[in-house]
Copies of this chain bind each other. A is one copy, B any other.
Amino acid sequence: MTSDAPQVLIDGLQYCNWSREIFEEMRRGGLTAVHATVGYHEGFRETVRHLVDWRTRFRDNEDLILLARDAGDIKRAQATNRTAIFLGLQNPMPMEDDIGLIEMLFDLGIRFMQLTYNNQSLLGCGWMEKEDSGVTRMGREAIAEMNRLGMIIDLSHAGERTALEAIALSERPVVISHANPRWLRDSNRNVSKHVLQALREREGLLGLSLYPLHLPNGSDTTLDQFGKMAREAAEIMGAEHLGIGSDLCQGQPDGVVRWMREGRWTREAQAAASFPAQPSWFGSNLDFPGLSQGLLAAGFDETGTSLVLGGAWHRFIQASLPPAG
């Protein structure tokens, strides 16, 4: 950035084994804001327990982090040298089948919710199902309610049809907080050109993932390859609609992979029981600013680099979240 405004670094998704050390690394890495996942398969009551744990973290680490409810909290974090943590859900389980719980979760601090997580949900279809029948009846209601409140709809982990329908149905721009172009890593977990185009047309945002299974060359993907991937994504999205959603799961025990993949819905192993190795150049929040090298090497200018590393997320959040209080 050539302006006097301080650089805003935002990571659009992390699910670390939260600790003071990790929050200190966020500070040393210069992270202005992070969208942190609160849960996957937990119902309402369990989610509230997680939220209570988050309140304790905010109190115990109030010199490092703060609970962010709106864009003003990003400014507040900057002004006090802290990281603004936005809370989100990767699955709509916490709302159960009660549309009113979306508002309750919003009031408790939740600002992002995925409509699906891999499997069919009550709202739509995840990418792992054989057939995607699109946004459900209740899904339409949930989208309208999230639009009303200003809770950001996240289509990561959604099936293709569900993603396209949700983008079209939502009156507000939506995000895919952590995924990569599918043509560079052929997994339905990643996003097709068609979805990206639809997302862009509705002013949505893509957060590029650094999770090895989403990267072109897995754990061996280089920073240059990441930069090139970002360039290809920017050709569709434009840098102003492109960010990072690293999917960083730092410090999580391997059992957490199985929790993510299997929850309580199966008795069978659904995936490898361990996390893949991170790329050598991205192991923690300390490595976040270094992503700029890959972006600059791939041809982003300073403004574009600055947008991808946080500026685009910042604008999106400013346009999306209503002022709290």
Contacts and interface: CB of A to CB of B under 8 A. Distances in A.
Contacts of A48: 44, 101, 104
Interface stretch (A26-34, A51-59, A270-278): A51-59
A52 B103 contact: yes
A55 B100 contact: yes
A147 to B, nearest CB: 15
A319 interface: no
A151 B49 CA distance: 20
Interface in A49-74: 49, 51-53, 55-56
A108 B104 contact: yes
Contacts of A55: 100, 103
- Copies of this protein chain in the complex: 2
Contacts of A56: 100
Given A44-B45, A45-B45, A108-B108, A52 B324 contact: no
Majority secondary structure of chain A interface residues (helix, strand, loop or mixed): helix
Contacts of A325: 324-325
A52 B98 contact: yes
A107 interface: yes
Contacts of A53: 100
A94 to B, nearest CB: 11
Contacts of A44: 45, 48
A48 B104 CA distance: 8
A283 B80 CA distance: 54
B107 A52 contact: no
Contacts of A49: 98, 100
A272 B108 CA distance: 40
Interface in A102-116: 103-104, 107-109
B324 A104 contact: no
Interface string A73-101: 00000000000000000000000001011
Nearest to A48: B104
A284 B125 CA distance: 51
Contacts of A51: 104
A145 to B, nearest CB: 11
A45 B49 CA distance: 12
24 contacts: A44-B45, A44-B48, A45-B45, A48-B101, A48-B104, A49-B98, A49-B100, A51-B104, A52-B98, A52-B100, A52-B101, A52-B103, A52-B104, A53-B100, A55-B100, A55-B103, A56-B100, A104-B108, A107-B107, A107-B108, A107-B109, A108-B108, A324-B325, A325-B325
Interface of A: 44-45, 48-49, 51-53, 55-56, 98, 100-101, 103-104, 107-109, 324-325
Q: Which 8 A-B pairs rank lowest in CB-CB distance, beginning with the nearest?
A: A325-B325, A52-B100, A107-B108, A107-B107, A48-B104, A45-B45, A324-B325, A55-B103
Given A107-B107, A324-B325, 19 more contacts: A44-B45, A44-B48, A48-B101, A48-B104, A49-B98, A51-B104, A52-B98, A52-B100, A52-B101, A52-B103, A52-B104, A53-B100, A55-B100, A56-B100, A104-B108, A107-B108, A107-B109, A108-B108, A325-B325
